[in-house]
Amino acid sequence: MKNRWIYVLLVLAIILPLARPLGLPVNPTRETEDLFRMVEGLPAGSVVYLAMDFDAGAIPEILPQAEAVFTHALLKDLKVILHGLSDQGVLIARDSLHPIAWSLGKAYGTDFINLGFKPGGGIVLRGMTADLWKTMGGVDIDGTQLAKFPLMQRLKRLDRSTVALIVDFNSGGSAMAYRNYVSEPTGIPLALGSCAVNFNVQMPFYRSGQYKAILNGLRGAAEYERLLGRPGKATSAMDAQSTSHALIIGLIVLGNVAYLLGGRRTDKPKR
């Protein structure tokens, strides 16, 4: 088989499942189920804080996680705060998550809000536990006064009495800042949406109970979509991965069978 036909088959194996998901089985892990149960168990009206701490390079893995959890929270009539220690993450959220909320009939400032980005890392988070409005400069991502939003009237600081859950979707080291400056001092449960490459690094903190749940890269997003019963981007992408991997394995097997049936070449090339 000529190389160009292999590439054609590989392109088809990727594109077709993306266009029409196959729904191949993805068995949710305990780490994913823990987060789903936490969101599912919150009373309507509870506030969930979703931290958009990833950049454009992590969109394929992290954004589907954020979309699935954001959708779940709004379907449960929870209130959602979007914020980030990454300047890119909050902009990605504005472009991707806001339309999801509007499609579900949710209102900005009442059902969800995007607080944008403020530089400072852990210092910003510590300030938010004391006075969120002051730390954020009194405005949201678009510069609108927080006092104009009904949701913000009940959220003057990050503490256990106002925020029921924090989920940090991160592609770097922001999880440690949320753990040290917010979760442990205030008692707010902390869960993570992690890139697959960082998953094993975060697992000891999950096993110790410091992180209540972890989503593992694109697979974690697909698992969450399955639990939610709303297949999306992650499910399609996992199907594409599975079909392309199956094709490559099949071609390797076919090549070896052809080699064995054809016999080993013993003739030496002419000089």
Say what the pTM is: 0.85
Q: Which two tokens stand for residue 247?
A: 């094709």
Does residue 88 register a pLDDT over 70? yes
What residues does each domain of the chain span?
Answer: 26-231
Determine the Cα–Cα distance for residues 141 and 90; give it in Å rounded to an integer: 8
200 or 66, higher pLDDT: 66
Q: What is the pLDDT of residue 268?
A: 57
Predicted pLDDT of residue 90: 93
Class of domain 26-231: alpha beta
> What pLDDT, in 10s, does the model give residues 103-120?
999 999 999 999 999 888
